[in-house]
């Protein structure tokens, strides 16, 4: 079973990453295909993400998932709050029975450097991105991942990544883990703490508030 990573955050919140190596038939035994996809890999990612929801919480009501106008999947009764992310051959999910959540995974590539001005303001690029180290791509990708996780946590759309999502600091707790302090300032100001983790070809960040 290719469960790449799992973490129990507390008694009501769990997250995991699934390395997708199976064929569709494996997931279709337990997961309904809720919409049509023109690309087979996107369909496989979709199935793996929903399979992971029930792996984390076996009582997760997959059949009740609806899609908001903002394209965010949700449960009408909010028995579980959840967020899903896909990247390459990986699917990630976080589920909480009590708090809103957001998760994002990304594969670090040099392309992130060309789009940094689109999601980081001048202060963030100056103070939070280590331009003089070999960790430039990984750090920039982590900041993008953190803002994507915040965007999913909010869930209502209408977000400008530079105006409404502010990275205050990034702190490493080891060679591959740390936490990002961020300020969400659309509608109301909310201080968010986003743990992150690195692997050789993958980064992940998440939020639960």
Do 92 and 110 fall within a single domain? Answer: no
Do 145 and 186 fall within a single domain? Answer: yes
d(CA 166, CA 206): 15
Question: 78, 99, 120: which is the final residue of a domain?
Answer: 99
d(CA 18, CA 6): 9
What CATH number is attached to the domain comprising 53? Answer: 3.90.470.20
pLDDT digits (tens, 9 = 90+) for 81-126: 999 999 999 999 999 999 999 999 999 999 999 999 999 999 999 9
Tally of domains in the chain: 2
Nearest to 170 by CA among 117, 124, 119, 128: 128
Look up tokens 């899903």; give the residue: 84
pTM of the predicted model as reported, rounded to 2 decimal places: 0.95
Do 9 and 78 fall within a single domain? Answer: yes
Q: Which 3 state secondary structure label does DSSP give 6?
A: strand
Do 34 and 49 fall within a single domain? Answer: yes
pLDDT digits (tens, 9 = 90+) for 136-190: 999 999 999 999 999 999 999 999 999 999 999 999 998 899 999 999 999 889 9
Could you say which DSSP state residue 207 is in? Answer: E
DSSP 80-148: SEEEEEEETTEEEEEEESSS-EEEEEE---THHHHHHHHHS-HHHHHHTS-TTSTTHHHHHHHHHHHHH
Do 117 and 189 fall within a single domain? Answer: yes
Structural domain range at position 137: 104-208
């Amino acid at each position: 079973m290719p469960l790449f990573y799992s973490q129990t955050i507390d008694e009501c919140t769990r997250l995991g990453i699934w390395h997708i190596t199976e064929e569709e038939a494996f997931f279709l035994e337990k997961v309904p295909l809720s919409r049509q996809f023109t690309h087979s890999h996107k369909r496989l990612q979709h199935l793996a993400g929903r399979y992971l929801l029930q792996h984390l919480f076996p009582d997760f009501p997959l059949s009740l998932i609806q899609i908001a106008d903002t394209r965010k999947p949700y449960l009408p009764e909010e028995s579980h709050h959840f967020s899903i992310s896909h990247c390459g051959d990986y699917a990630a999910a976080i589920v909480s029975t009590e708090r809103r959540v957001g998760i994002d995974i990304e594969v670090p590539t040099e392309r992130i450097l060309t789009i940094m001005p689109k999601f980081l303001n001048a202060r963030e690029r100056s103070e939070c991105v280590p331009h003089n180290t070999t960790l430039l791509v990984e750090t920039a990708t982590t900041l993008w991942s953190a803002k994507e996780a915040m965007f999913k946590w909010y869930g209502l759309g209408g977000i400008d990544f530079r105006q409404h999502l502010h990275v205050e600091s990034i702190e490493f707790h080891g060679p591959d883990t740390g936490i990002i302090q961020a300020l969400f300032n659309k509608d109301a100001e909310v201080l968010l703490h986003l743990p992150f983790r690195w692997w050789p070809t993958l980064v992940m960040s998440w939020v639960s508030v």
